[in-house]
Chain A
Amino acid sequence: MAKTLFQKVWDAHAVRRLPNGQTQLFIGTHLIHEVTSPQAFGMIRDLGLKVKYPHRTFATVDHIVPTNELKEPYSDPIAQEMIEALRKNTKDYGIRFFDTNTGNQGIVHMVGPEQGITQPGTTIACGDSHTATHGAFGAIAFGIGTTQVRDVLATQTLALSPLKVRRIEVNGRLAPGVYAKDVILHIIRVLGVNGGIGYAYEYAGTTFDNFSLEERMTVCNMAIEGGARCGYVNPDQKTFDYIKGKPYAPKGADWDAAVARWKSFASDPGCQYDDIKVFKAEDIRPTVTWGITPGQAVFIDEKMPALETLSPADRQTAEDAYAHMKLAPDTPIKGTKVDVCFLGSCTNGRISDLREAAKYLKGHKVSDGVKAIVVPGSQLTAIQAVHEGLDKVFTEAGFEWRGAGCSMCLAMNPDKLVGDQLCASSSNRNFKGRQGSQTGRTVLMSPIMVVAAAITGQVADAREVFKV
């Protein structure tokens, strides 16, 4: 019978049926970081358990690391305590740790792909909701809570129920100035922030076929913002080419066997989906959020919605959003003054994002009064960017060039908004208070739109600013 990738991966990893009807599912790759793992290790110790397969867990540090301070001890004692807890836990249990001194540290969702740990047809879990990023490689990857981190450490399995599969097809060529980020913001806008509850999203169509792995990662990354716990793209030659030669990629004869195995996981022609949605690439324009959920978004050349056009439930959330954002319904968002620009995160902190941003930034200056920071998602990305001279492009334009980490996406380190600053951000969440100030305001957009905002000091249409 024809099956989806989700079903094949699920079946291959199903250990047994649990008494409550759920499946005990084998987790092939477990990724951990400093924020959601310490309590899990505490539970392991309290219960007298062991880590069952220490070589299937990989650790890095990303959320709390300062990006403008490389020497330890960090001036933030809590950050120091958290990184040391992870060092101790990984050492005690024999878990590989991509620490800050390895040159391989970074946002956990960048480290997996960079190291070749992220592979098609695998199950990947991490105590972080953006784990869906790894689905770009044809893995079933999803976020879990800390108690579940304990479950994976102790048993390499989780108790789960299968998801339905919704195929989201996007066909055609994106217009100049339109990027993967716009695609996912548009999908979330149309299907809603809760539209994906109960589903895995299979992204497909010619637009995805043409996307690089990094673009696929941007889209898969934000599946959770649409309510879907995981999103994936079927593996193809681009996937295999990306993995080949990475440190943890199979080598020699193992490589050919692995590619054959990976190919076999792709969804079969004629398989049944629980739902199918189809989009046209040419309908998508540069998209920005105006509210406090990622679904509250408009094309840059549209007005924000008038309240009376919204359903009663949406209207309530929108009123709350307009009050928080200090924006007015039925007006353009273009031209809104920007205080801070943040380029980075597991959504858009990869080398292709930095290259594209630098390409348009070159020869321009950050507008007076705008604080602009660029935070490469990983040390390897930072090294590559420096090698290409991108750091100079950013600093000459007036951006601050920082060390690798999550930074201002969630502001667990010193990178925070102040007061009601408005941030043009390439990250994934515009929730109230997300960027470290209770009254701070976030407008999500693509990297090139962040650059356009930095130069003009306002929410701008990059297509006009750069004549693309």
Chain B
Amino acid sequence: MSLAKITQVKALALAVPGDDIDTDRIIPARFLRCVTFDGLGEHAFRDERTGPDGKDRPHPMNSTQAARIAAAKKGVMVVGFNFGCGSSREHAPQSIWRFGFTAIVGGSFAEIFFGNSTALGVPCVTLAKEDLAECDAFVRANPDVEVAVDVEKLTVSAGARSWKAGIPASARDSLVNGKWDPIADLLDGAAAVDRTAGGLAYVEGK
């Protein structure tokens, strides 16, 4: 399986603030009532964006900036800490990605969300707290300036600004080498898998 090498994502950015944004808020459970991921993009952050009266609320995802990102099918989302906590639903990163975002910059990410995003080829990189605040402020003040998330050099830069970014070495390696979907590597190990299974007494149980 040949995948794109994701070394850098350079695109317009949108700040979606707040810490502990859980995956129920990213994609409410009623949109999990489906057997495919199709169409999830339009419902990303649905209940944050739309009030109980069905009308739009003031939310970054309702902005013209968000619309530009959706049209371009590429964009950088700038978020807070512990983003994507809660449910393991892959529907959450699927909805963000299908909306048009191709990279996420934040303070920290919940682990399952991080893994799900990486497997989609969406890098989630972290910035130190002060740098994240600067990046967030820059993005709000300069909506027309593209933000570059450099997975290889581990920087996030915009205009004249550049911040040091973090990502676990294994995820970086997978993204820059075009191996972010692990299935090919896992299939390669089939014989070794059988050997491991053979040594585990419980595996051949009832």
Genuine A/B complex = yes
Is B43 at the interface (CB under 8 A from chain A)?
Answer: no
Task: Output the nearest chain B residue to A42 by Cβ-Cβ distance.
Answer: B36
Question: Per-residue CB proximity of A2-15 to B under 8 Å, as 1/0?
Answer: 00000000001111
Contact B88 A129 (CB under 8 A): yes
Question: Per-residue CB proximity of A181-206 to B under 8 Å, as 1/0?
Answer: 00000000000011001100000000
Contact A53 B47 (CB under 8 A): no
Cα(A118)–Cα(B168), bound, Å: 31
Is B174 at the interface (CB under 8 A from chain A)?
Answer: yes
Contact A155 B192 (CB under 8 A): no
Is B25 at the interface (CB under 8 A from chain A)?
Answer: yes
Residues of chain A within 8 A (CB-CB) of B206 are 247-248
- B189 partner, pick from A36, A155, A227, beta carbons under 8 A: A155
Residues of chain A within 8 A (CB-CB) of B196 are 13-15, 26
Contact A433 B47 (CB under 8 A): yes
Question: Per-residue CB proximity of A421-454 to B under 8 Å, as 1/0?
Answer: 0000000010111101011000000000000000
| Distance in Å: Cβ of A251 to nearest Cβ of chain B | 9
Cα(A158)–Cα(B186), bound, Å: 7
Is B170 at the interface (CB under 8 A from chain A)?
Answer: yes
Stretch touching chain B among A210-218, A313-321, A394-402: A313-321
Residues of chain B within 8 A (CB-CB) of A85 are 35
| Distance in Å: Cβ of B206 to nearest Cβ of chain A | 5
Cα(A21)–Cα(B111), bound, Å: 17
Cα(A262)–Cα(B29), bound, Å: 37
Residues of chain B within 8 A (CB-CB) of A248 are 205-206
- B120 partner, pick from A52, A147, A197, beta carbons under 8 A: A147
Task: Output the nearest chain A residue to B109 by Cβ-Cβ distance.
Answer: A197
Q: A24-B185, A313-B81, A411-B29 are in contact. Are A161 and B193 (CB under 8 A)?
A: no
| Distance in Å: Cβ of B47 to nearest Cβ of chain A | 5
| Distance in Å: Cβ of B113 to nearest Cβ of chain A | 8
Per the CB 8 Å criterion, the residue count for chain B at the interface is 64
Residues of chain B within 8 A (CB-CB) of A145 are 88-90, 93, 112, 115-116, 119
| Distance in Å: Cβ of A427 to nearest Cβ of chain B | 12
Cα(A194)–Cα(B187), bound, Å: 33
Residues of chain A within 8 A (CB-CB) of B20 are 193-194, 293, 317
Residues of chain B within 8 A (CB-CB) of A15 are 189, 192-193, 195-196
Is B141 at the interface (CB under 8 A from chain A)?
Answer: no
Task: Output the nearest chain A residue to B172 by Cβ-Cβ distance.
Answer: A20
Question: Per-residue CB proximity of A50-65 to B under 8 Å, as 1/0?
Answer: 0011001000000110
Question: Per-residue CB proximity of B27-68 to A under 8 Å, as 1/0?
Answer: 011101111110000000001000110000000000000000
What does DSSP make chain A's interface, helix, strand, loop or mixed? loop
Contact B115 A24 (CB under 8 A): no
Cα(A227)–Cα(B19), bound, Å: 13
Q: A119-B202, A155-B186 are in contact. Are A26 and B197 (CB under 8 A)?
A: yes
- B24 partner, pick from A155, A197, A433, beta carbons under 8 A: A433
Report the contact-size class of chain A (Cβ under 8 Å from the partner). Answer: 35 or more
Residues of chain A within 8 A (CB-CB) of B28 are 433, 438
Cα(A257)–Cα(B202), bound, Å: 10
Is A302 at the interface (CB under 8 A from chain B)?
Answer: no
Stretch touching chain B among A75-83, A277-285, A343-351, A384-392: A75-83
Within B166-181, the residues touching A (CB, 8 Å) are 168-171, 173-174, 177, 179, 181
| Distance in Å: Cβ of A23 to nearest Cβ of chain B | 10
Task: Output the nearest chain B residue to A37 by Cβ-Cβ distance.
Answer: B35
Residues of chain A within 8 A (CB-CB) of B183 are 47, 150-151, 154-155
Cα(A94)–Cα(B90), bound, Å: 25
Is B142 at the interface (CB under 8 A from chain A)?
Answer: no
Is A336 at the interface (CB under 8 A from chain B)?
Answer: no
Task: Output the nearest chain B residue to A295 by Cβ-Cβ distance.
Answer: B20
Contact A197 B32 (CB under 8 A): no
Contact A412 B173 (CB under 8 A): no
Is B18 at the interface (CB under 8 A from chain A)?
Answer: yes
Within A74-128, the residues touching B (CB, 8 Å) are 78-79, 81-82, 85, 119, 121-122, 127-128
Q: A147-B119, A155-B186, A432-B25 are in contact. Are A21 and B88 (CB under 8 A)?
A: no
Q: A20-B173, A198-B111 are in contact. Are A313 and B189 (CB under 8 A)?
A: no
Cα(A344)–Cα(B206), bound, Å: 30
Residues of chain B within 8 A (CB-CB) of A193 are 20, 82, 85
- B170 partner, pick from A21, A42, A434, beta carbons under 8 A: A21
Residues of chain A within 8 A (CB-CB) of B47 are 432-433, 438
Residues of chain B within 8 A (CB-CB) of A42 are 35-36
| Distance in Å: Cβ of B35 to nearest Cβ of chain A | 4
Question: Per-residue CB proximity of A125-150 to B under 8 Å, as 1/0?
Answer: 00111000000000000011111101
Q: A146-B90, A229-B111 are in contact. Are A78 and B34 (CB under 8 A)?
A: yes
The 3 nearest A-B residue pairs measured at CB: A145-B116, A145-B90, A143-B88
What residues of chain A have their CB less than 8 Å away from a CB belonging to chain B?
12-16, 18-22, 24, 26, 28, 35-36, 38-39, 42, 47, 49, 52-53, 56, 63-64, 78-79, 81-82, 85, 119, 121-122, 127-129, 143-148, 150-151, 154-159, 161, 193-194, 197-198, 224-225, 227, 229, 247-248, 250, 257-258, 261, 293, 313, 316-317, 320, 410-412, 419, 429, 431-434, 436, 438-439
Extra inter-chain contacts (4) besides given A412-B30, A429-B22, CB under 8 Å: A15-B192, A24-B192, A42-B36, A151-B186
10 A–B contacts, CB within 8 A, in A order: A13-B200, A19-B185, A24-B192, A63-B32, A145-B115, A147-B90, A155-B183, A157-B186, A316-B19, A411-B30
